[in-house]
Each structure stands twice: as C-alpha cells, then as structure tokens.
Structure 1
Amino acid sequence: MTRTESPSPKRRGLLRAVSTLLTAALLAVGLSVAGNVATATPAQALCVTPALVGNWSNIDPATNHIVRADIQFFCSDVVTCDADTGICTRPPSYYRIRPFGACVPTACDWGWRNMTAMSDGWQRTQYVYSWATVDVWARTEAWYGRTYLRIWSNTDFTAADGRTDFARDEWFLR
C-alpha cells in the first residue's frame, strides 16, 4: 500500500494561487465572449456588384442593331427559415437587361427582361414580338485591361414578316 503525502503548506499555497489565476482567466475570457455575442450586430451577407452591371454603349456608333444596354443585378442575400420545419430558402439572385435598338430619331427601348445564368458564363433572355423572336446573350470579357460587355443576339423573324433572320455579335463599353 502506497501512502500519499499531502503537499507542503508552501506547495498548497502555490497550487491555490495558480488555481485562482486560472479560474479568473477563464472567467474573463467567458465574460468577454458572452459580451461580444450579446452586443454583436447581426450578420449580413452582402453582394458585390458584378462586372456585368452598368449602362453600356456600343463601341460601333454606326450599329443598326443594339446601341446601348442597361444591366442590373438583384442580389438575394436574405435567407428565410421556417420555424416549424427548419427548412431554409433563398430566392435566386438574377440579372436584368434593357437593350435599346437603333431607331430614329431616338433609340427604341426593348424593355426590361430577367436573364437566366448559363453554365458557360453567359446570361440569356428572350424578347418575343409579333414579327420576330430575339434571343439575347450577354457576358463581360476583359481585353487589354478593359472590361467589355459582349452581346450576342439572334433575330428569328416570323414567316409572315418575310425578312431574313440574322445574328449579331456586338461589343460595349461603360
């Protein structure tokens, strides 16, 4: 049988001091964390403005198609959670485009359309008129240190209209 000796009074005092300091340090850290959590501002997800957003003008002043385009981005940074089911949802973020055609004397406003993100980086939408359907694809590209908007469009005229279908690949700057 082994006999355990009790620590000397000097050693007991040292152990008590270390124990008291350790307890005080842990209490201070705990109170600091609790204070920070209680006074912290709520977290907010912020969307960075994408390069595609802006008011763009065609680099070809003599174009007979799209003279300018406005692009907006709608960020969905709000997540809603159902308290009963625990299911959280967030509507998707999306782009909108508003092209202007080369009409005289002022540019023709095609109107706003929501765009769909494609897997290859393009954003796509469609304009349907009584005389034609126009598919519009947009993305940014960097060339020589500048960011360009590239809009590729395909105009498919109805048979009743009789005009020949055409596609355009146009470049824009802010």
Structure 2
Amino acid sequence: MSLYDIEVNTIKGETGTLAPYKGQVLLIVNTATKCGFAGQFEGLQKLHDKYREQGFSVLGFPNGQFANQEPGSNSEVAEACKINFGVTFPLFEKVDVIGSQIHPLFKHLTNEARGVLGSKAIKWNFTKFLVDRDGRVLKRFGSADTPERIESHIQKLLDQPAKA
C-alpha cells in the first residue's frame, strides 16, 4: 500500500486519502497545542508558506497520547491552531501515533523511517517525517528538531523532480 492510499480524515471530519498531495514534498507532523514544542507551529507555518508554490505541504496530525497535551475535540484543536498559532496548513483529525490503535499512516511512517537507535515508536509530540515527491518516507526528525533545522532538507527535495 502506498502512502497515498491510506485513508485519513480532515480536522472537519471529511474522509479522503493523501492522494491530493501526490507529487509534493511533505512534512508530516504529530502535533499538540499544549506541548512545550507548540512554538514550532510558527516555524512549520513559515515553511508551508515559503515553499507551498514549489510543491511543499506541512500536514498536521494532532495527538493527545503524550501527557494529554492535545485534550480538545477536533474543532477545538482547529480553532486553537488558527487563533493561537496562525496555522493554515492542512490539519487532520486526532489520531493515535503509538500503541495498538496506531493510525495506519503513522504505522507506515514509523516502519519506513526509524527513530534513534532504530526504534519504531514515536517518543513525543512534534515528531516529523519528510516525504519526497514519490511518496517515499526519507527521514524522521525528533521533537527537538526545529522547522528551521529541517529547511535545508526540504530545499534539496524541492530541487529534485519526481521519479514516478
């Protein structure tokens, strides 16, 4: 199964897949508005705005599994992201990123890009997965990796055409 075939629901509850993002460079992030790393929303939005016209998108997937740092409903999350952080990049419904109910997207991402010491499990909020234009998960970044630190990796991928 391709990344683009995985079913996802938008933050508004609309069901679809990631197929509309085929051919784009993606940064897929598990987010939480009450997390100490929530300041990264601003940097993620800047990256999204700066490179959107070149075929780049940040995709946010809220998650409340780590210290319940995303306690709100999907509509509350959407509102907090917009009002508190100015987020306009695509947000999806809250999902599990670890455990027996892990969302198929995050199961795919963690199988394709391992963490520190080869671990699969996501350790905290704001883990980021960089996907190339062909849907390959190329790199995983931890919570402490700021959007600014990831920018050069995004630029390199944007300079490469899709192979498929």
Which structure: larger Rg? 1
Greater strand fraction, Structure 1 or Structure 2: 1
TM-score category (smaller protein)? under 0.3
Structure 1 length-normalised TM: 0.25
Greater helix fraction, Structure 1 or Structure 2: 2
